[in-house]
A and B are shown apart, each in its own frame.
Chain A
Amino acid sequence: MTRVSRTFLSQTFPPHTFVAQAGLLVGRSFWPLFAIAVIAGVMLWGPWVSLTITVLAVIAAMKLL
């Protein structure tokens, strides 16, 4: 199995460019960042819009993810 892990490391993972690494970071933290946006967004657009976004996100996850 060690040989397999060395094969991985010699290929494209982990990404070496800054953009690729930043993209991975944002992608992996997508849900908490999305949650912060929905929660803090209450100050901008009010609680009803945040509730609507939450309901739509749950439905979208159930249907697509």
Chain B
Amino acid sequence: MSRDPGPSVAASRRRHLLADPQDRDCVIFHLACLAAYACAFWLYLHPKLAGIAGPWSRAAFVLATAVMLGWISGVDVGVNFHNHSHRPIFTSQFANRWFARFWTFSGGWPSFFWEYCHVTIHHARLLDHDDWTLPRQNADGSFENFQRYLVSHWPWRLMTHLGRDLIARRSIRRKSLRELAIFAALWSIPFWIDPKMALWLWVLPHWIANALVMASGMYVQHSGCVPKSVARPLSHSTTFVSKFFNLTMFNIGFHLEHHDHPRVHWSLLPALHEQLKQGMIDGGAHVVPYGNYHASFLLAGDETRRKLFDQQALGYAPAAPSTATPSPSGNVN
């Protein structure tokens, strides 16, 4: 499903830079992220002005800044660029290609590599055994330990799989190497300015963005889920309906709807959710009243805390009891 304005409106949009007016907010979000990095670098390089000349005050600054930069970079790539990978935000292919390169480098990714992982692997093979973007599965179908996935996935497992898929395959090797070279040129910029600053305010935030923010998102969105089938068409993803979470996260909480309709524009997902709501309730879809962050908190905990993730949001009680399959927390019912 997509906005379908008709041929006359579509023709007039060709004159516009953005494919959808709502995508202006995606651009502003990314520019604000780059501004945050620039601000952090400038303060680090002017310690007396920032009052961080001493070792402890500088450590406090680095810790606070790295966490904030990692947090917003995780959202900027894992959510904001993610939407672009499904529906490019510009009407010009050239603008899409180059803005993407300047989009993901501040999250530690070549844009083509991220798109490949998400669209070609994750969406096409969702929850199959060869969907290596997700946590590994135990014998009972539940996900591996939350913390183990976060620590081992980025960049270690990803580099192995990407090396095998992209560099080893002749058909896309040249493009992959070109994109990798462009990424390396952009990503190295902070190292040319100050290598120590780059480690603390560039590499560390990228680890936080990928290992903590994006990986935890992937885990909670599909924990306890099963591959789509005729019998279980709505059990491949969890939907998170917190309004504040979805407002500040480009509606990524409507994840079940997104996987079933990946070409629907992100701004239309709440309306699509309303359209599909009754079917989701009848089909036993897993819907929770919070967002990814609280879900991560629950699934990172002990068995008692993980079981809380199984609870449905008010108004989404399933119509029929589920069969003996893993529950969303990974417990077998």
Q: Are A and B genuine complex partners?
A: yes
Residues of chain A whose beta carbon lies under 8 Å from any beta carbon of chain B? 1-2, 4-9, 11, 13-14, 24-25, 27-36, 38-40, 42-43, 46-48, 50-51, 53-54, 58, 61-65
Which one, B29, B35, B51, contacts A28 given CB within 8 A?
A: B29
B43 / chain A contacts, CB cutoff of 8 Å = 39-40, 42-43
B28 / chain A contacts, CB cutoff of 8 Å = 25, 28-29
Give Cα distance in the complex from A6 to B68, angstroms: 39
B25 smallest CB distance to A (angstroms): 5
A7 / chain B contacts, CB cutoff of 8 Å = 271, 275
A35 smallest CB distance to B (angstroms): 4
A46 / chain B contacts, CB cutoff of 8 Å = 51, 57
Q: How many A-B residue pairs have CB under 8 A?
A: 142
Give Cα distance in the complex from A29 to B36, angstroms: 12
Q: A35-B72, A38-B68 are in contact. Are A62 and B296 (CB under 8 A)?
A: yes
- Apart from A8-B3, A62-B294, A65-B244: 19 A-B pairs, beta carbons within 8 A: A1-B1, A1-B2, A4-B272, A5-B4, A5-B268, A7-B271, A9-B5, A24-B247, A29-B28, A32-B32, A35-B36, A38-B64, A39-B40, A40-B43, A42-B51, A50-B61, A54-B64, A65-B293, A65-B294
- The answer on a CB contact under 8 Å between B245 and A65 is yes
Give Cα distance in the complex from A40 to B64, angstroms: 11
Q: A42-B51, A48-B60, A51-B64 are in contact. Are A28 and B247 (CB under 8 A)?
A: yes
Nearest chain B residue, comparing its CB with the CB of A1: B1
- The answer on a CB contact under 8 Å between B247 and A35 is no
B83 smallest CB distance to A (angstroms): 11
A53 / chain B contacts, CB cutoff of 8 Å = 64
Give Cα distance in the complex from A17 to B20, angstroms: 17
Residues of chain B whose beta carbon lies under 8 Å from any beta carbon of chain A? 1-5, 21-22, 24-25, 28-29, 32-33, 35-36, 39-40, 43, 49-52, 57-58, 60-61, 63-65, 67-69, 71-72, 75-76, 242, 244-245, 247-248, 250, 261, 264, 267-268, 270-272, 275, 290-294, 296-297
Which one, B52, B68, B247, B297, contacts A63 given CB within 8 A?
A: B297
A8 / chain B contacts, CB cutoff of 8 Å = 3, 268, 271-272
B35 / chain A contacts, CB cutoff of 8 Å = 32, 36
